[in-house]
Amino acid sequence: MKRSLVRGALSLALLSLTACLTAPAQAKTEITLSRFFGACDAEYGNVNDVSKAAGECGIITTLVNQFNATNKEDIVVKPQIIEWNPYYTQIDARILSRDVPTISVMHEAVLGDYVKRKLVEPLDDGFKSVGVDTKDFTGHAHRGVTFGDKTYALPFDTHSWLWHINVNLFKKAGLVDASGKPILPTTPEELLKQAKQFKDKTGLPYIAMPIASESAAQTRSLYTMVYQQNGTLFASGPTKIDLQGKPVTNALQLLDGLMKAGDITPNLDYGASNQAFMNGKAGVLICGTWVIEDLTNLSKKSDSPLANNGYDVVPFPNLFQKKAVWADGHSWVMLKGGAKDDKTRHAAFVFLKFLYDHDADWARTGHLPARESVIDSAAFNALPHRSSIKEISSTGYSLPNTVPRQFAIQEIVGSEVSNMLTSGKPIPAVQKDAQERVNKLLSR
């Protein structure tokens, strides 16, 4: 009897062990992440420590790797990398084909179009479930992702329009103060005067900025100067632009004057204008927050024109009535149809919380954090040049988020300004043609 019991017990134990050995492992929860920011797996594909990453691509790639390696819920994020130019066209096509990513990066300037079409999910309940505090969003970030009383995206940054300055050339031009800091213009007249002085002393143009094949740059400068004059482009509502006002005229006259005086590098595209500045061929590069890290690193090289503390960066200077500058933001959205079930949806919010927790790491790119607590932190303010641009979290302005087709508007307006700068198109014609083209677009 005892032997039978023992044999029975052993049989049960063996059956249990066999069941354990043959039982399938706990299935992982996969979520997809569509993004731009480039591909850099050759350098960062196996890096799991975000502190060892640099640049937009390096940091976002390493953040995904780190999350996959450390999260305790068997969640796997599968990146889907799309090039910047066709990004939104591809996202739209995937929505139509019902091949929807779980999470997607989205500019806040574009978000309103998707909210209006009811293609993105409100995220407030999910944020609460994982501990994302929307009250910690900066004012600019909050405005960018909030429609009515609902939050439709996780803001990741505020990116804006800056002056990157070759301090060594400013010294040569006699445009630094007693402490060696660049003297910035405070009026259009001062800007034109300083640009002439700079060219007389150095033989170089004051400003490098992309004109060829880069309409967005002109729009960002125009918007900035309009905002500085308390101007508005949509006084009659979100579907009718007004480009005939005095603020627009003043801004165009200043850009036109600089160009005709030879104070702007002519006919350069984005890459060439950046290279001109890096090679010491201009005093100021008008570009965004996203190049701060690269230029800071360049300034540490002994053979660089920016060496020996020769690089500084400031928000686009206030040339009119108030501090204001164009700004936008990257954010993360959940498109409808992307999360197929509650398990996937929960996994998506766990990853969004991870990105929220690592906002400070993303800020190393040069973009401003989307969280007040990060902007106020000692770690952020210890990063090079951040204390001089942090004001943008409160001085950054965007078009109202109810204005549709903002990227298309930016392209139209910028192309007309580029025509003025490259071919001398008269200012009234620029205003008239840009306004008619935008309003025709918005009437459809």
Q: What is the percent of the chain with per-residue pLDDT over 70, rounded to a whole number? A: 94
Helix 215-228 × helix 246-260 angle, to 10°:
130
- Evaluate whether 344 touches 31 at the Cβ level (below 8 Å): yes
DSSP 81-123: E--STTHHHHHHHHHHTT---SEEEEEHHHHHHHHHTT-B---
The predicted structure's pLDDT at residue 26: 61
CA neighbor of 365 nearest in space, from 84, 156, 189: 156
Q: Are residues 384 and 426 in the same domain?
A: no
How many other CB atoms are found less than 10 A from the CB of residue 37?
Answer: 20
Q: Is the pLDDT of residue 6 over 60?
A: no
Q: Is the pLDDT of residue 374 over 90?
A: yes
The predicted structure's pLDDT at residue 214: 78
- Evaluate whether 265 touches 273 at the Cβ level (below 8 Å): yes
Tell me the pLDDT of the chain averaged across its residues.
93
The predicted structure's pLDDT at residue 171: 98
Tell me the CATH number at 349: 3.40.190.10
Q: Are residues 102 and 225 in the same domain?
A: no
Q: Are residues 244 and 373 in the same domain?
A: no
Q: Are residues 431 and 354 in the same domain?
A: no
The predicted structure's pLDDT at residue 296: 94
pLDDT level of residue 2 (50, 70, 90 thresholds)? very low
Q: Are residues 164 and 188 in the same domain?
A: yes
Helix 427-443 × helix 246-260 angle, to 10°:
130
Tokens encoding 206? 């004051």
Mean pLDDT of 153-167: 97
Q: Are residues 342 and 388 in the same domain?
A: yes
DSSP 162-224: EEEEEHHHHHHTT-B-TTSPBPPPSSHHHHHHHHHHHHHHHSS-SEE---TT-HHHHHHHHHH
Report which residue type is found at 231: G
The predicted structure's pLDDT at residue 139: 93
Q: Are residues 415 and 314 in the same domain?
A: yes
With respect to residue 320, please indicate whether it lies within any of the assigned structural domains.
Answer: yes
- Evaluate whether 205 touches 268 at the Cβ level (below 8 Å): no
CA neighbor of 257 nearest in space, from 162, 187, 175, 330: 187
- pTM of the entire predicted model: 0.90
With respect to residue 11, please indicate whether it lies within any of the assigned structural domains.
Answer: no
Question: Domain range spanning residue 176?
Answer: 160-327+405-443
